[in-house]
Each structure stands twice: as C-alpha cells, then as structure tokens.
Amino acid sequence: MSSKDKVGILRNWDIGFVRGMEISEREDWIHFPYLTGPCRSMMEDIAKCIHKHLGPLLCQTKSPPDVTHFTSPRGNAEGSFILRSGANLSQVKFVLGSWIHCRLGVGTLNAATLIVMLGPDNDVPHFMFEVIENDSSNLILLLDLLPRKDLVCSPEYLKAFYEDSELERYRQSVEKAYHSQSYVPSSLYVRSAVSPTALLFKFRDLLAPNDLNLLVKELIHPTAKNVFGTWFHAFSHIGTTRPKAEGEEKSVILERDEQIRRMGIEKDLSSNLPKLFGQEIADRVIAAIRKGE
Amino acid sequence: MALTFASLLQTTSPFSTNSIKISVLGTSLKAAKKLTKHTAQFKCNGVAGELSMSEPADKWVQFPHLCDSGRRLMEEVASMIETQLDSQLNPCCTPADVRSFKNADVDSEGSVNIKSGAQGSKIDFVLGSWLHCKTPFGVLNIATIIGMVNPQTDAPHLLFEFIQSGQSSLVLVLDLLPRKDLVLDPDYLKWFYEDTKLDAPREALYKAQQAQPYVSSSLYVRSIVSPTAILVKINSELQSTAGTADGMEKIINDVVEPAAKEVVRIWLDAILTRGRPVDDFEKDLLLKRDNMIKTKGVEVDLSSNMPRLFGQDVTDRVVAAFRKGI
C-alpha cells in the first residue's frame, strides 16, 4: 500500500471518527435558549435523558433548518421544532423537542415541549412533557403518559401501566405543593387524551423568580425525571413482556395515535402558530410533524 | 288482591342487545303481598304483568334527609327526568326491601328506586337512591341519580351524585359519561360535548370561591368521566356566612342548582334529540363498554361503603336490583 493510500484511509477513519463523535454528542440535540436557570436545566436534562435512553433507536433530525429555527416577521417571537424519527417506525414513531419564545407587550411567554410518540408494534403509553412559563411568575405544567387504549374497556392496561406504578404518588406530591392549582386545558380533546394520573398543574403569582427556581429545582425537575423513569421502565420492561399488538387491535392503536397527533398536537399548532409566525412558518412546522422527522 | 307477575328469565350473553332478566325475589314477594293498593301494569319484552308496589307509582324517588335546597334540587331533577322521559320509562318495580332498608342498629337507612326502560325506549334504566348514615364523624348523606342508556342510541349516560357530610361540606359528581373512546372518536366529542356547550356550567361552577376540584381515589372512575365532568368539593366555610346551614343552602341555590339543571337539560336533549341510532356492529361494542361502566364503575361505587354500613345482605339485594335494572 502506498503512503498516499495510507493517508487516504487515515483521513477516512478520521472523518468517520468525527462523525461518530457528532452523533454521540447529540445528547444535546435540543437547547432551550430562552429559558433560564432551573427551568432550562430541567428541559435540557430531560432531553438528554431521552437521548441517553433512546439514542440508538433514533435517527438524527431531518427537520429543515427553517423548522429547527424561525423568527416571526415582526421579530417579537422565535421558535424551534426538532423531530427525530425512530430507526424502526413501528417501535418508536418520533421524538419531538420544541420551544416558542415571544414578547407580548410588557411580558414574555416561553413554551417548551418534549414528546416521545411510539409506534404500533407496542401499546406502551406515549411520553408528554410541556412547560409554559409566563414572566417567571406563572408556570403551567403538563406531564403525562398518554394511554394507547380506551381505559374504560381495558382495566388490565390501566393496572399494568398506571395503578401498579408510582405515577399517582408523583401526581399527589405536586398537587400538595404550595401554590399548585389544577390546570384544565381549554381543549376538550387534550383533556380526553391524558391519563387518570396526568400531572396538569398551574403555579400562579409566584412572587419572585426565586420562588419559581426553587419550585422547579426541588419539585418539578425531580418529578419530571421520575415520570420519565416510569415511562422508560414501561417502554423497556413492561412493554417487552406484553404480547405484540396485531390485526384489529394494532389498527385501532394506529388510528388512535393518528388522532392524537392530529387533534392533540397539530390542532393547537394550527391555531396558534399562524397568529405568532404567519401561515407559511406554521405550515412548514406542521408538515415536519406529519413527516415525523 | 291477586298478585300476578311475569317472571322472565332469559339467558343474557354479555353481547345480547334486547333480552333483559327480570325476576322478583322470594323475600320481596312476601313483603309485596302484605301491602295493599297500586297495581302496576307493564310490558317487558312483550310480556304483560302486574305487580303490587308499596308506594304510588308517581313518586319515583324522594330525598327526605337532605337539606332543603339539596332536597329540592334532587327532587326537581328526578321530576325533570321522569316528566321528559315519560313513556320511555316503566313504573318503578323495585322490590320493597330495596326501596327501603336500614342497618341493624337502625341509625342508617337507604333507598334505591329503579325504573327500567320501556319496550323500544332508549333508556336501559334510571336510578334514584339515597343513603343516610350516622358515622362517628357526623351525618353522611349520599344522593344519586343515574340514567343508563341502552344501545339503541349513542347518547351519553347521566351520573349525578350529591354527597353531603355535615352542614358545610358537599361533594358533587355530575357528568354525561361518554359511550365511546373520545380519543378515537373526536366527532363524538364534538357532537355531544363541544357543540352543546357542556363545559360552560362546569366552568361557572369551578369559578366559585368555595369550590375545589374533587379527585376520585379510583383511577377507573377518573377514566370513565368526560372532559367536561363536574367533580367538585364545596366547602361553605370558605365564605362570609361561614359554617352556617344558610351558607350551604345559598351555594346550592345560587351556584349548584343552575349548573346541575343545565347539565341534566343537555342530557335529556341528548336522549330525545341529539342521540343517533347505532348500527348492529357498534351495538355490541357499546353494550360491552356499558357493562364495564356498570360493573367496574358504578357497581363498585355502590357496593364500596354499603357492606360496612348496611351489611352484606342488604348490599347484595341492592346490587342485584342494579344489575337487573329494576
């Protein structure tokens, strides 16, 4: 082999090595630049957890650059939607991380979301985590394992994924917290899609940024981690011991997941994104979500 | 007085749609024989019968132990249902010892009154009941009105529970229970829950200073209720006329009654107008789902406190009446 060839091979190996580093460094596949302090740490930590536990099952994002970052024509709002499709779509459909930041009049609004949507081979619940922060004095939390089945007809599903888990205990610990009130989403569909142990809370009139920081650091972040842990246990252990969904059952799960994506995720974006960013950006974001990558 | 009755025993498979099981229990027959007056004629599945009853057929249910405004509310709602559903309901044929029972110490009593749906109606049965219990913590009154719909229509069921403990505490459960998986069927959600503005009475009630959300300890119960379910705890001590009987009466009159009547009005409209016919394939699914709601949801709720308060015997009789829908 000539020395020239050796250099060639070495260069290729270098490139491969660098690419490998890039992929593994994607544990920070999403940043939340407008969140601060414990709120930012929390979202980035859960995003890292998702990468750490699901990384090998996910592709890199193929979301176009004008979906992974966009600004409103007026310049008062910015957003980012990053989707990573599952390597095996029947197992993991996609992971979505997003944030929206806008300055309205005297105040600011920050919304941050992390969702894991699974594929129809299994009936493990989806993972949903959303935080909406207003001026560091109000916080809304949505944290849940979204059921894949009609719980009324499936008490064994309710037992396997919810009753036998610690989810109710986590929910109650936040319910008891000072300043916590129950949050009722304006969308009836979202109210229907969440589980009986969903954490839907608002924290109002927190007097100082420090109140919010303390709340997030001491309660919400650990709870989010616990709930994600419960979800991952469901995915990696409970899900793998359950019979694979087939035939009629599988097509119902598929249809249900489609409705959750349409009515739970898309519908809200279709009505709010155009107001902040215009129809063009809204359409691009929804197209990316439909593609799931 | 001649006592003739029709005893229809048909095997019911969980998926059959038209057959109902009616039998009059031996013990309650004896009780009925001793009473006079009021023979009811009815037709169940084309078979005519006569039954003696202990009370006039026109008073389906009363609520003697509630506070004034609570009693008025529950009796007016019972009356609304009876009047508007009218010929869709049979007279009440509940055995006398289910229409009235007491515990061994005679310090707690109850009443369960069921009117089954008439031939061809959309109603499975309506139930009006109350439990009045003296506990070490005070007096507990549980008043319930349930409207179970049959698979002839896809209209929601009605669940209304009015639970008063002491003078200042009230728990309300008021909901139109969906017949379908709303996540899979957003059109059903829109038709019965969004287009009817069913969330408006809920929102109004939740705004009241004295109202806090009530979270059922049963995850299953949480999953059967709709997204517009009213699940509240009302504490009349959280206001200026704190702790007085008047305080609670006022809240019931001003806040609870308008919301409750609006929800019941929407339910009756769903039965009479909005409900849609169900095709044969869907009937089986509806029946299966309804049976789950009845057994896991309502029956468990009915039988959870009763054994402790009234003994197993009474509980069994009440549950049997509920299962038979009569």
Q: What is the pLDDT of residues B107-159, one digit of tens each?
A: 889 999 999 999 999 999 999 999 998 887 788 899 999 999 999 999 999 99
Q: Is B213 on the interface with A (CB under 8 A)?
A: yes
Residues 282-311 (B) with a CB less than 8 A from some CB of A? 288-289, 292-293, 296
Query: What span, in angstroms and rounded, lies between the C-alpha atoms of B31 and B36?
Result: 11
A134-145 pLDDT, tens digit per residue, is: 888 889 999 999
What's the gap in Å between the CA of A15 and the closest CA on chain B?
Answer: 47
Q: Is the pLDDT of residue B41 over 70?
A: no
B181 and A150: CB-CB below 8 Å? yes
Q: Is the pLDDT of residue A31 over 70?
A: yes
What's the gap in Å between the CA of A281 and the closest CA on chain B?
Answer: 27
> Mean pLDDT across the stretch A95-99?
97
DSSP per position, B139-155: EEEEEEEEEEEPTTB-P
Range of A3-7, B37-41, B98-102 with top mean pLDDT: B98-102
Please report which confidence band the pLDDT of residue A277 belongs to, taking 50, 70 and 90 as the band edges: very high
B224-257 pLDDT, tens digit per residue, is: 999 999 999 998 887 655 556 678 999 999 999 9
Percent of chain B with pLDDT over 70: 78
Q: Is the pLDDT of residue B298 over 80?
A: no
Task: Identify which of A155, A188, A252 has the shortest CB distance to residue B189.
Answer: A188
Q: Is B7 on the interface with A (CB under 8 A)?
A: no
Per-residue confidence (pLDDT) for residue B4, from 0 to 100? 22
Per-residue confidence (pLDDT) for residue A16, from 0 to 100? 39
Task: Identify which of B183, B224, B226 has the shortest CB distance to residue A256.
Answer: B183
> Mean pLDDT across the stretch B162-167?
88
Please report which confidence band the pLDDT of residue A204 belongs to, taking 50, 70 and 90 as the band edges: confident
Task: Identify which of B183, B220, B228 has the shortest CB distance to residue A193.
Answer: B183
Q: Is the pLDDT of residue B57 over 70?
A: no
Q: Is the pLDDT of residue B5 over 60?
A: no
Q: Is B80 on the interface with A (CB under 8 A)?
A: no
Closest A-chain CA to B181: A150
Say whether A251 sits in a helix, a strand or coil: helix
Q: Is the pLDDT of residue A200 over 80?
A: yes
Q: Where are the alpha helices (DSSP H) in B3-157?
A: 26-34, 68-85, 96-99
Interface size, chain A vs chain B, as Cβ–Cβ contacts under 8 Å: 63
> Mean pLDDT across the stretch A219-241?
97
Query: What span, in angstroms and rounded, lies between the C-alpha atoms of B233 and B162?
Result: 10
> Mean pLDDT across the stretch A198-207?
89
| DSSP one-letter code for A237 | I
A42-64 pLDDT, tens digit per residue, is: 999 999 999 999 989 999 999 99
- Minimum mean pLDDT range among A134-138, A169-173, A265-269: A134-138
Question: In this predicted model, which residue has the larger pLDDT, B298 or B167?
Answer: B167
Distance, C-alpha A24 to centroid of its chain: 20
| DSSP one-letter code for A61 | P
C-beta of residue B47 within 8 angstroms of C-beta of residue B84: no
Torsion sign, CA atoms A222, A226, A227, A229: positive
Q: Is the pLDDT of residue A26 over 80?
A: no
Contacts of B226 in chain A (CB under 8 A): 192
Please report which confidence band the pLDDT of residue A262 belongs to, taking 50, 70 and 90 as the band edges: very high
Q: With CA atoms as reference, report the closest residue to A292 among A93, A67, A87.
A: A93
Which residue matches tokens 């979505």?
A96
C-beta of residue A242 within 8 angstroms of C-beta of residue A38: no
Per-residue confidence (pLDDT) for residue B53, from 0 to 100? 42
Per-residue confidence (pLDDT) for residue A160, from 0 to 100? 97
Per-residue confidence (pLDDT) for residue B12, from 0 to 100? 25
Question: In this predicted model, which residue has the larger pLDDT, B321 or A247?
Answer: A247
| DSSP one-letter code for B219 | H
Query: What span, in angstroms and rounded, lies between the C-alpha atoms of B123 and B192?
Result: 17
Please report which confidence band the pLDDT of residue A4 belongs to, taking 50, 70 and 90 as the band edges: low
A151 and B223: CB-CB below 8 Å? yes
Q: With CA atoms as reference, report the closest residue to B153 among B129, B124, B118.
A: B124
C-beta of residue A82 within 8 angstroms of C-beta of residue A68: yes
Residues of A with CB under 8 A from a CB of B: 147, 150-153, 155, 158, 162-163, 168, 175, 182, 184, 188-189, 191-193, 195-197, 252, 255-256, 259-260, 263
Q: Is the pLDDT of residue A130 over 60?
A: yes
A188 and B213: CB-CB below 8 Å? no
Query: What span, in angstroms and rounded, lies between the C-alpha atoms of A104 and A72?
Result: 12
Contacts of B206 in chain A (CB under 8 A): 184
B72-86 pLDDT, tens digit per residue, is: 999 999 999 999 998
Question: In this predicted model, which residue has the larger pLDDT, B322 or A160?
Answer: A160
What is the pTM for the complete model shown? 0.84
Range of A242-246, B135-139, B262-266, B301-305 with top mean pLDDT: B262-266
Per-residue confidence (pLDDT) for residue B58, from 0 to 100? 55
What's the gap in Å between the CA of B276 and the closest CA on chain A?
Answer: 21
Contacts of B215 in chain A (CB under 8 A): 175
| DSSP one-letter code for A148 | S
Per-residue confidence (pLDDT) for residue B168, from 0 to 100? 85
Question: In this predicted model, which residue has the larger pLDDT, B35 or A10?
Answer: A10
Task: Identify which of B213, B227, B289 has the shortest CB distance to residue A192.
Answer: B227
Average pLDDT taken over every residue of chain B: 80
Contacts of A168 in chain B (CB under 8 A): 219
Per-residue confidence (pLDDT) for residue A178, from 0 to 100? 86
Which residue matches tokens 């057929």?
B57
List, in order, residues 6 or more apart from A166 with CB less than 8 Å away. Answer: A226, A230
Question: In this predicted model, which residue has the larger pLDDT, B63 or B313?
Answer: B63
Range of A98-102, B105-109, B298-302 with top mean pLDDT: A98-102
Contacts of A182 in chain B (CB under 8 A): 213
Per-residue confidence (pLDDT) for residue B312, from 0 to 100? 82
